[in-house]
């Protein structure tokens, strides 16, 4: 009976210690290798590569030498089999480009909200007409930045290989010409031991 009680106490102690968790702050730029899925390190690598490539490409250097071109960024298309928050990728690239001081941006995701606000200001009869923003005064984008994130996944027994490719392009909206294009590739491999660890 004593052994049975001791076993129960030990099981409870192990159970309680296994249920405890610890949360710590970490370095957001530290390499994250929890699994082979798309993660924060991949997002940062893609953002850095794409922005650095675009900012140093000769035609883009020429475009930004004497002016700040107006760009709209189309949402990155997720062509992988994973659920990836490509809005985060789009936001990170946009933020880094905007912070460079070389570009100005139009946020196409807010067009409906802006339209509603302008309609309210001009048609609701509740805003002083001298302070209402007039329709037709916004500046149009000169360039569109867009891209795709795709992947190829292969598995053989206990080994899984995931290949990601991010492709981006900058298009001149007046001419339809592509002023810049580049891609970033990432490969991740996961191998399981025979114990599944």
* Helix (H) or strand (E) segment spanning residue 134: none
Identify the CATH number of the domain in which residue 145 sits: 3.40.50
Q: Which residues contact 175 (CB under 8 A, 6 or more apart)?
A: none
Angle CA(160)–CA(166)–CA(169) in degrees, nearest 5? Answer: 165
pLDDT in tens, 30-53: 655 655 667 667 788 888 999 999
Residue 186 forms part of a structural domain: yes
Q: How far apart are CA 42 and CA 36, in angstroms?
A: 10
DSSP code of residue 99: H
pLDDT in tens, 131-167: 888 888 888 899 999 999 998 888 888 888 888 899 9
Enclosing domain of residue 93: 38-191
Summarize the confidence of residues 61-86 as an average pLDDT: 90
Q: How far apart are CA 54 and CA 56, in angstroms?
A: 6
Residue 122 forms part of a structural domain: yes
Summarize the confidence of residues 111-132 as an average pLDDT: 88
Residue 47 forms part of a structural domain: yes
pTM to 2 decimal places: 0.73
Q: CA 194 from chain center: how many Å? A: 35
Q: Which residues contact 152 (CB under 8 A, 6 or more apart)?
A: 162, 163
> SS3 for 165?
strand
Residue 27 forms part of a structural domain: no
Residue 67 forms part of a structural domain: yes
Number of domains in the chain: 1
């Amino acid at each position: 009976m004593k052994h049975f009680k001791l076993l129960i106490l030990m099981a409870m102690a192990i159970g309680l210690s296994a249920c405890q968790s610890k949360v710590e702050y970490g370095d957001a730029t530290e390499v994250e290798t929890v699994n082979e899925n798309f993660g924060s390190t991949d997002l940062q690598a893609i953002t850095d590569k794409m922005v650095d490539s675009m900012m140093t490409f000769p035609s883009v250097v020429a475009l930004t030498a004497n002016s700040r071109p107006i760009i709209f960024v189309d949402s990155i298309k997720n062509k992988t089999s994973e659920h990836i928050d490509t809005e985060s990728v789009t936001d990170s690239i946009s933020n880094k480009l905007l912070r460079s001081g070389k570009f100005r941006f139009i946020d196409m995701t807010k067009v409906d909200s802006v339209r509603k606000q302008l309609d309210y200001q001009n048609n609701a009869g509740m805003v002083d007409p001298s302070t209402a923003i007039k329709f037709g005064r916004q500046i149009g984008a000169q360039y569109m930045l867009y891209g795709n994130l795709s992947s190829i996944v292969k598995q053989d027994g206990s080994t899984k290989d995931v290949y990601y490719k991010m492709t981006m392009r900058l298009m001149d909206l007046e001419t339809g010409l592509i002023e810049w294009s580049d891609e970033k590739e990432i490969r991740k491999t996961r191998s399981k031991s025979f114990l599944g660890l």
